[in-house]
Amino acid sequence: MERRKILTGSVAVAGLSAAASLLGAPTVSAAGAARPQLAQSFKTYEDDRSLGMANAPITIVEFASLTCPHCATFHAETFPQLKDSWIADGRARMVFRHYPLDALALRASAVSECFDGDRFFGFIDLLFKTQAQWSRSDDPLNALRGLSRQAGMSDETFDSCVNDEATLDRILQKVVDARNDHQIQSTPSFVINGRKVEGARSFDELQDVLEAVPTNS
């Protein structure tokens, strides 16, 4: 798999989206079209990472890069409220999808995939909380190793996970799927019962979106 080409494409479209946001312009796709509001039903994978009840009427698919500051902001300011309300009471479930914007995010994603169940989400939370430190370190992989130790991972397991070719390729294949299936171009992005929503929304903003989602319940 052409990893550099895939990651370069992620950075390019993410930069386009960020520039448009700073200028107050609507987000556009790489082809220049206004962003679509609807996407097809999301594709499921056997190794999906999710929180909440499987039969919740609303499914929120999050596409995030572990080195994305806006993703870290979402997980610090919005996600805890979302988890304690909509997810905890069964109205929604969250599916987390890696969408690495650079090689470091890709390696961090591979390490996270070696954690099971709640430990996966605990490690994702740790990475976002400490993102400014490890991602900007002079030796970010060593900093990532230290966080993995903190989470209970041995150095031997870390070395195996961070270099796992099959996992790295699978993560990038899902990036390709996200672009093809949902036109995901930047992080964080969400697909909520088929509707694409972009940006690190506040809890109130996201709640407005969720309350307007048609459900079968």
Report residue 98's pLDDT band, with 50, 70 and 90 as the boundaries: very high
* Average predicted confidence (pLDDT) for the chain: 85
Is the pLDDT confidence value at 3 over 70?
no
pLDDT tens track for 191-209: 999 899 999 999 999 999 9
Cα 4 to Cα 6: distance, rounded to the nearest angstrom: 6
pLDDT tens track for 8-37: 555 444 433 332 332 233 332 333 333 333
Domains and CATH numbers, the chain: 3-42+49-209 (3.40.30.10)
Count of alpha carbons within 13 Å of 110, Cβ hemisphere only? 24
* Mean pLDDT, residues 87-112 taken together: 97
> What does the pLDDT read at residue 99?
98
Contact yes or no for 117/83 (Cβ under 8 A): no
Give 2 or 60, the one with higher predicted confidence: 60
Report residue 60's pLDDT band, with 50, 70 and 90 as the boundaries: very high
> What does the pLDDT read at residue 44?
84
Is the pLDDT confidence value at 175 over 60?
yes
Show Cβ contacts of residue 164 under 8 Å, excluding neighbours closer than 6 positions: 110, 113, 114
* Mean pLDDT, residues 153-182 taken together: 96
pLDDT tens track for 104-160: 999 999 999 999 999 999 999 999 999 999 999 999 999 999 999 999 999 999 999
Report residue 214's pLDDT band, with 50, 70 and 90 as the boundaries: confident
Is the pLDDT confidence value at 39 over 50?
no
> What does the pLDDT read at residue 113?
98
Is the pLDDT confidence value at 90 over 50?
yes
> What does the pLDDT read at residue 41?
58
Contact yes or no for 65/71 (Cβ under 8 A): yes
The torsion defined by the Cα of 207, 212, 215 and 217, in degrees rounded to 10, comes to: 70
